[in-house]
Amino acid sequence: MTLKGFLCSIAIALSPLIAATGEEGIIVERSHVTIESKEGQPLRVVFAPEDRPALIFKPKGGTWDWSRESRLVIPVENPSDEALTLLLRVEDHKPRSLTGQVAIAPRSSGNLAISVNAPPPLTMGMIGGPSLSPAGLDPGTLPMTATDGSIDAAAVTSVRLGMLRPSNPRPLVVGPLHVEPDRGSYDGIVDGFGQLLPGEWPGKVSSIEMLRAKGLEEEHALAQWLADLPTRDHFGGLLDTGGFRATGFFRTEKRDGRWWLVTPEGNVFFSIGMDVAALTGETYVEGREFMYRDLPAPDGELAAHWSERDDRGGLWPRRDRAFNHGRAFNFYTANLQRKFGSDWSERWREETVRRLEAWGFNTIGNWGEPELSTMHRLAYTVPLWLEGEFWWGGNPGPF
C-alpha cells in the first residue's frame, strides 16, 4: 500500500471521531498502536507491549479552541478480561500539558473525563476534580485522577491517549472525542455535613434528625450482630481452642509445626485489626471557603472542631498539594457532636468499640485513638515512633 493509501485508510477508520469533534478534520498519529476498525465501526485499536504506546489526536487546523467549554470526554470500552490503566495528556501551543490517568475494569466501558478549562485539582487541594458520579448525575463517567498541569484551553494542539508499557497486547475501543460544559464546578460543592452537595443517594444525610435516626437504626443492627458472634474470651480469643497454657500475657507458641498467637487466658487468637480508628479527618478550608456551603461559624456551638494545622512537612502525598496548612474544619467530629451531643467523644469511643466487635474485629490497629486502648475492650497495637534525620529520606533496615 502506498503512503497516500495508508493515510486514506486511517481517515476512513477515524471518520466517527472526525464528525464528532465539531471540527473539519482530525489528524491521528500512532505510536506502537494497531488500528483494527473497519469503515463505519467504532475505532478499535490494540496497544502493543512497547514503551508508552499511544494514539495522538491533533486538529487539522492546528489548534482547538475549547475556551467556552471545560471538559474533554472520550468514550472508551475495555473488551478484555484484564483491567487496564489509561494515561491522558492534553497539550497546548506553548507547549504546556495537562495529564491524568484512570483505571478501567475488565469488560466495561465509560466516558473518560478531564477538566481542561478549570483550576488544576491539586491547586484546589484535591487529587481529582469534583465528580457528580456519586450523586448519580453523571452516569458512566470515569473522572481522571492524579491530574497535573494546566493548559490554555483556547489553543489545544493535541490529545494523547495511551498506556505505560502493557505486558501483552491490549485492545481498546475508542469513541468520538467531544468537549462539554463541566457541571462539576468547585463553587459550593460541599454541604454543611461535609457531603457532595449536588444530587441525592441512599444514606445521604439531610438533617441532624436523620443523622440521629440512622444512629438508632445502626444500634439495633449492632446488637444483633454482637449476639451472633462466636463466644470469645476477654481478650478476643476463641474459647476452648487448643488448651494452651494461660500465662497472663499475649504470646506465641509453636505446636505441630505451626505458630499460634495465644491470649493471656490460653486461647487461640487470630488478630484482625483496623488501622487508624481515630478522630482524624480535618479539611483545610482557608482560602477555598467558596467550596463549602453552610460552614459552621468559628465562634458557634461547633467551634471546637475548627483548628489551625500544618501538613507541609508531613506524609509525601500531602507535600505538594495546595491547601495543606491554615484553618481547618473537622466535619467528622462535628457530625459526632450533632449526633450525640456534648459527650460525643465518650459516646464515639463506645460506639467504635461496639462496631469493631460487631464487624468481627478483635484488634485496634496502628495509629488508633489512644483512649480506645485504655478501655481494655480489644487488643491493641502501639506505634513505635522512630526519630532521626534518616526518616522520610530512607527507612532504616529493620534487621
What sign results for the dihedral spanned by CA atoms 70, 317, 334, 366? positive
Closest-CA residue to 376 (of 268, 222, 261, 235): 235
- According to DSSP, the β-strands at 141-143 and 108-115 are parallel
- Whose cell is 444500634? That residue is 219
Which amino acid appears at position 228 of this protein? D
* Average pLDDT, integer, range 311-316: 68
In a 10 Å sphere around its CB, with 0-12 CB exposed, 13-18 middle and 19+ buried, how is residue 55 labelled? buried
Where residue 155 falls among pLDDT bands split at 50, 70, 90? Answer: very high
Residue 262 and residue 268 in contact, taking contact as beta carbons nearer than 8 Å: yes
Res 281: pLDDT: 87
Residue 185 has, within 13 A of its CA and on its CB side, a CA count of: 8
pLDDT at 57: 94
| CATH 2.60.120.430 segments of the chain | 3-180
* DSSP letter, residue 58: E
Higher pLDDT, 302 or 290: 302
pTM, rounded to two decimals = 0.63
pLDDT at 397: 63
Q: 3-state class of 393 per DSSP? A: coil
At 50, the pLDDT band (50, 70, 90 cuts) reads: very high
Helix %, strand %, coil % of the chain (to 5): 20, 30, 50
pLDDT tens-digit profile of 330-346? 999 999 999 999 999 99
Mark 344-363 as b/e (b = at least 16 C-beta within 10 Å).
beebbbebbbbbbbbeebbb
- Rounded distance, CA 59 to CA 50, Å? 26
Whether residue 380 contacts residue 235, with contact meaning beta carbons closer than 8 Å, is answered with: no
pLDDT band, residue 135 (cuts 50/70/90): low
Binning pLDDT at 50, 70 and 90, where does residue 37 land? confident
CB 288, CB 124: distance < 8 Å: yes
Mean pLDDT of the chain: 84
pLDDT tens digits, 259-275: 999 999 999 999 999 99
Pairing type for strands 156-162 and 251-255 reads: unpaired
Averaged pLDDT, 71-91: 94
Three-class SS state of 310: strand
Instruction: Say how far residue 166 (Cα) sits from the centre of its chain.
Output: 23
CA nearest to 18, candidates 64, 52, 51, 53:
64
Return the pLDDT at 393: 52
> Residue 222: is it exposed, middle or buried by C-beta count within 10 angstroms (0-12/13-18/19+)?
middle
* Phi, psi of 122, deg, nearest 5: -65, -30
Which one is predicted more confidently, 391 or 85?
Answer: 85
Q: Is residue 116 very low, low, confident or very high in pLDDT (cuts 50, 70, 90)?
A: confident
Q: Residue 67 pLDDT more than 80?
A: yes
Question: The dihedral of CA 170, 173, 174, 180: what is its sign?
Answer: negative
What fold is seen in the domain 3-180? Jelly Rolls (2.60.120)
Per DSSP, the chain holds a count of helices (H) and strands (E) of: 7, 21
